[in-house]
Amino acid sequence: MPDEDPGDIFLRHRGAVLEALLSDPSFGAPAESETGTANSAEPDFPEEFEVPPQPGADGPKASERILALLNAGAGEGSAPEEFGPDFAGFDPARLRGDPDAAAGEGPRPRPVVPGSADRMRSVLAMVRKPKVALAIGAVLAVIVVLVLVSGGGSPPSNSVVIATAAPTSAAANPPTTTAPAASTALQVKSAQAHCPAGSTAGMDAFAGQGKAWLCVRAFKIDGQVLTIDLGHTYRIDSIGIVPGFDDLGSDGVDQWTKYRTASRVSYQFDDANASRYVQQTLDQRTLVVTKLSPPVSASRIVLTVLQSKGDPAINTVAVSSIAITGQ
Q: For residue 247, what pLDDT band results from cuts at 50, 70 and 90? A: very high
pLDDT at 175: 56
Pairing state between β 260-269 and 316-319: parallel
**Can you spell out the DSSP letters for 120-181?**
HHHHHHHHTSHHHHHHHHHHHHHHHHHHHHHT-SS--TT------PPP--TTTSPPP-PPPP
Structure confidence at residue 284 (pLDDT): 95
Higher pLDDT, 74 or 273: 273
pLDDT at 36 over 80: no
- Report in angstroms the alpha-carbon separations of 111 from 114, 120, 279: 10, 19, 108
Mean pLDDT of the chain: 73
Query: pLDDT (tens digit, 9 = 90+) per residue, 46-76?
Result: 544 454 555 444 555 556 666 666 655 444 4
Q: State residue 130's pLDDT score.
A: 78
Q: Which is more confident, 133 or 90?
A: 133
Q: What is the dihedral of CA 103, 105, 106, 109, to 10 degrees?
A: -100
The C-alpha angle with vertex 253 and arms to 251 and 256, in degrees rounded to 5, equals: 140
Torsion of CA 294, 295, 296, 298, to 10 degrees: -170
Residue of 319, 325, 261 lying closest to 296 (CA atoms): 325
Question: CB neighbours of 23 closer than 8 A, spacing ≥ 6?
Answer: 29, 39, 54
d(CA 184, CA 263): 26
Model pTM score: 0.47
Rounded Cα–Cα distance for residues 78 and 85 (Å): 11
CA–CA dist 264, 268 (Å, integer) = 14
